[in-house]
Amino acid sequence: MQPISAILFDLDGTLVDTAPDLAFALNTLLQEQGQQPLPFEQIRPVASHGSPGLLDLGFGLTPNHPEYTALQQRFLELYQENIARETALFEGMREVIEQLEDANIAWGIITNKPAFLTEPLLIALGLIDRAACVVSGDTTAYSKPHPAPMLHACELIKLSPEACIYIGDAERDIEAAKNANMQSILARYGYLGSQDDPESWQADAIIDHPREILQWI
């Protein structure tokens, strides 16, 4: 991998462990609808796929179902109300961020999470003023795997894509990095499901713990 000047992170399942609060919102909604909650182990692999994936898991609904919009709105309300209930940086990630900052290497966030959820979460975690850039799912006209969010982040930090590494835990993250001509690292500690085949996604590297990121700085 080439020398790098910035490390850019996916949010859910890469930088921050949001699955407990997403699971809480989904299970609360299931119980409101008279259904049984799901085991956390069943919800965790779907956490990176946002409300569409979680509502499909919990209710078997896709966005074209007539009940979907109302359930999605209630799910987002429940999640927003509990957005930092248990969410925290992944173990070792605080050390990674501190070492990046000590080395004057920019770090930022590119997520498909909408800004109305991204920003309050980062404020609650004390990260929003430390990140060199925050690109949410609705910051540009397109979301990952489209390269637009990646290129917008590069504009914000005034670096070329070739000078950045993007770290994510989903296939769309690796595709987005490739589409933007950016190096990529797959976070295998993230929200991968049993059906996922991360080795086939052709990331430039695969890591099993956040501290392995330090090998690249």
Surface-to-core class of residue 200, CB atoms within 10 Å of its CB (0-12 exposed, 13-18 middle, 19+ buried): exposed
Strands annotated E in the chain: 6-9, 16-17, 88-89, 106-110, 134-135, 164-168, 183-187, 205-207
Is 10 labeled as catalytic in the residue annotation?
yes
Is 17 labeled as catalytic in the residue annotation?
no
- DSSP letters along 96-130, please? HHHHHHHTT-EEEEE-SS-HHHHHHHHHHTT-TTT
Beta bridge partners of 187: 207
Q: Are 1 and 26 in contact (CB under 8 A)?
A: no
Which sequence positions are flagged as catalytic? 10, 12
